[in-house]
Amino acid sequence: MVKVLFVCLGNICRSPMAEAIMRDLVEKEGLSEKISVDSAGTGSWHIGEPPHKGTVKKLAEYNVSTEGLVARQFSKKDFEEYDYIVGMDESNIRNISRITGQPDDPKVVRLLDLTDAKKDVPDPYYTGDFQETYDLVSEGCRVLLEKIKKEM
Ligand code: 4NP
């Protein structure tokens, strides 16, 4: 099983959106038995909560299921367990390194560095723009899945 973990700050806006979109793509390609998808936040504020209502609403618009999404905190153990650890922005990558004590590990990547955009996924918790985030996360997930398929 190839294990993918999306990481943001609160695990209620961006990384659960990425988890849901990636899970949907993986299911549509018939790869659910081969690729598992999860998400976590580096912060602890929202542990146990469902995704932000803006994330739920946007995913519903695109018929992407949000079933089973519950916020949890990223831990050092995740670093050992997952094959792809995908942060949404540069500060997520720094926070991941701080928690794992392993800076510059190649399995830790910023999502949009896999795409031509090479930038942070804006945080809709602050921007309020869930559409912009949806579009960027979708593109990132599409490219990430192609990368994983080539590498497995
Ligand atoms: P996320 O957005 O990292 O995309 O889930 C945030 C959600 C909550 C907070 C910050 C960012 N917060 O400070 O509570």
Residue of 14, 23, 38, 120 marked catalytic:
14
pLDDT of residue 21: 99
Cα torsion 78, 114, 52, 25: sign:
negative
DSSP 8-state class, residue 116: S
Domains of the chain: 2-151 (3.40.50.2300)
Instruction: Say how far residue 38 (Cα) sits from the centre of its chain.
Output: 7
List pLDDT tens digits, range 34-83.
999 999 999 999 999 999 999 999 999 999 999 999 999 999 999 999 99
Tell me if residue 94 is catalytic: no
pLDDT of residue 15: 99
Average pLDDT over residues 4-29: 99
Ligand 1 atom closest to 71 (CA): 5
> How many angstroms separate the Cα of 93 from the Cα of each of 29, 33, 60, 73, 141?
29, 28, 29, 14, 17
For ligand 1, atom 7: residue with the closest CA: 10
List pLDDT tens digits, range 80-116.
999 999 999 999 999 999 999 999 999 999 999 999 9
Nearest to 19 by CA among 138, 114, 147: 138
Rounded CA separation 113/55 (Å) = 22
Does residue 123 have its Cβ closer than 6 Å to ligand 1? Answer: yes
Tell me if residue 104 is catalytic: no
For ligand 1, atom 9: residue with the closest CA: 10
- Counting other chains too, the contacts that 55-58 makes at CB distance below 8 Å and 24 or more residues apart are 55/12, 55/13, 55/14, 55/16, 55/17, 55/124, 55/130, 57/130, 58/17, 58/130, 58/131, 58/133, 58/134
Average pLDDT over residues 9-21: 99
Tokens of 62: 């695109």
Ligand 1 atom closest to 121 (CA): 4
Q: Which pTM does this prediction carry?
A: 0.99
pLDDT of residue 102: 96
Tell me if residue 8 is catalytic: yes
Ligand 1, from 6, 7, 9: best to mutate by most atoms within 8 Å of Cβ?
9
Rounded CA separation 75/149 (Å) = 26
pLDDT of residue 84: 99
Average pLDDT over residues 17-41: 98
Average pLDDT over residues 123-133: 98
Nearest to 52 by CA among 89, 11, 21: 11
